[in-house]
Each structure stands twice: as C-alpha cells, then as structure tokens.
Amino acid sequence: EVQLVQSGAEVKKPGESLKISCKGSGYTFTRFWIAWVRQMPGKGLEWMGIIYPGDSDTRYTPSFQGQVTFSADKSINTAYLHWSSLKASDTAIYYCARLPAAAGTDLDPWGQGTQVTVSS
C-alpha cells in the first residue's frame, strides 16, 4: 500500500525553528515528487511547492519562497518541511502528498496532516 505518514502535532513559540516530516512507503520514493500543502484555520488549501527526493530539486510557490525550506533524505524515504523562525501566521495544518510529475496536479495519496500551532 502506498502511504505517506507525517510527524505529529507541534506547539511552538514565535521565533522558534521547526522541522516536520513525511515518510513514504509502498513505492519508490525517489521517483515521485512530494508536494507540501497548507491549510490555515478555517481556510482552503494552498500549494506551497514540491521537492523531488531523487535529487532534492525543489520548486517553491512564490508566496512561500524564502519562508520555508524543503529537504529530503532518500536513505530513509523521508521529506521535510522546515521553518527557521516561526510566526503566529504559520499556524496551520500541513499536508504532504505524492505527485507523479512536476507539471501535474494529481496529488495521491496524502499524508494525514501535521497540525502546527505557533503561540506565545
């Protein structure tokens, strides 16, 4: 079974750093892109960008460029989303999802989501 399992919920203070993870199983991790999607409280889905674990090629949606960093460790089939300095506005659910081709939109499957809460 193709599956993405994300790390658990996090509660952080503004200015702290954070890295959340997304572990793939049931397929060749290095041959598919991983997309990251944000859902802020009460809002819709926003596409943050993608990373190709095979060579760590990354593409960020402009509004997220410089705000977050994607990385991947192909030896353990895991992708990461990293913040160096969190803001209250980063409070959201973050999903990872598998994407067959960079120019596509067929995200399948999705991880279960990671709730990130940033509050002083």
Question: Which positions touch other proteins (CB under 8 A)?
Answer: 35, 37, 44-47, 50, 59, 61-62, 95, 97, 102-113
Distance, in Å, from the CA atom of 46 to the CA atom of 61, rounded to the nearest integer, reads 9
Smallest gap from residue 14 Cβ to other proteins (A)? 26
DSSP 68-100: BEEEEEGGGTEEEEEESS--GGG-EEEEEEEES
Q: Residue 58 Cβ, how far from other proteins at the closest point, in Å?
A: 10
When computed from its CA atoms, the radius of gyration of the chain, rounded to whole angstroms, is 13
Residue burial 34-58, b: 16+ Cβ < 10 Å; e: rest: bbbbbeeeeeeeebbbbbbbeeeeb
Q: How far is the CB of 118 from other proteins (least distance, A)?
A: 20
**Closest CB to other proteins among 37 and 86?**
37
Cβ nearer to other proteins, comparing 14 with 104: 104
Minimum CB separation of residue 85 from other proteins in Å reads 25
Nearer to other proteins by C-beta: 106 or 120?
Answer: 106
Pick 98 or 118: Cβ nearer other proteins = 98
What residue has token string 């997220």?
64
